[in-house]
Amino acid sequence: MLGRSRHRRITAEVNLTPLIDVMMSLLAIFMITAPLLTTGIPLNLPKGDGRQIQGQDKTLDISINAKGEIYVGKIKLTMDQLLPKIQAITEQNPKIQIMISADKTAAYGTVVEVMALLRQAGYTQVGLKTDVEVVSSRTKKTRK
Q: pLDDT tens for residues 40-62?
A: 434 333 445 555 555 445 788 88
CA distance 134 to 43: 23
Close Cβ partners of 62 (under 8 Å, ≥ 6 residues apart): 70, 71, 72, 82, 86, 98, 99, 100, 101, 114
- Over range 1-25, report the average pLDDT: 78
Q: Is residue 1 predicted with pLDDT exceeding 70?
A: no
Close Cβ partners of 101 (under 8 Å, ≥ 6 residues apart): 61, 62, 63, 64, 128, 129
CA distance 58 to 8: 90
Residues paired with 100 in a beta bridge: 62, 128
* Mean pLDDT of all residues belonging to the chain: 75
CA distance 30 to 117: 30
Query: What DSSP assignment string belongs to 83-140?
Result: HHHHHHHHHH-TTPEEEEEE-TTS-HHHHHHHHHHHHHTT---EEE---HHHHHHHHH
Residue predicted with more confidence, 142 or 85: 85
C-alpha distances in angstroms, 39 versus 17, 47, 117?
36, 22, 15
The CATH label, of 3.30.420.270, 3.40.640.10, 3.20.10.10, 3.20.20.100, for the domain at 56-143 is 3.30.420.270
CA distance 64 to 19: 53
Report field, pTM of the whole predicted structure over 0.85:
no
CATH 3.30.420.270 intervals, the chain: 56-143
Q: Is residue 33 predicted with pLDDT exceeding 50?
A: yes
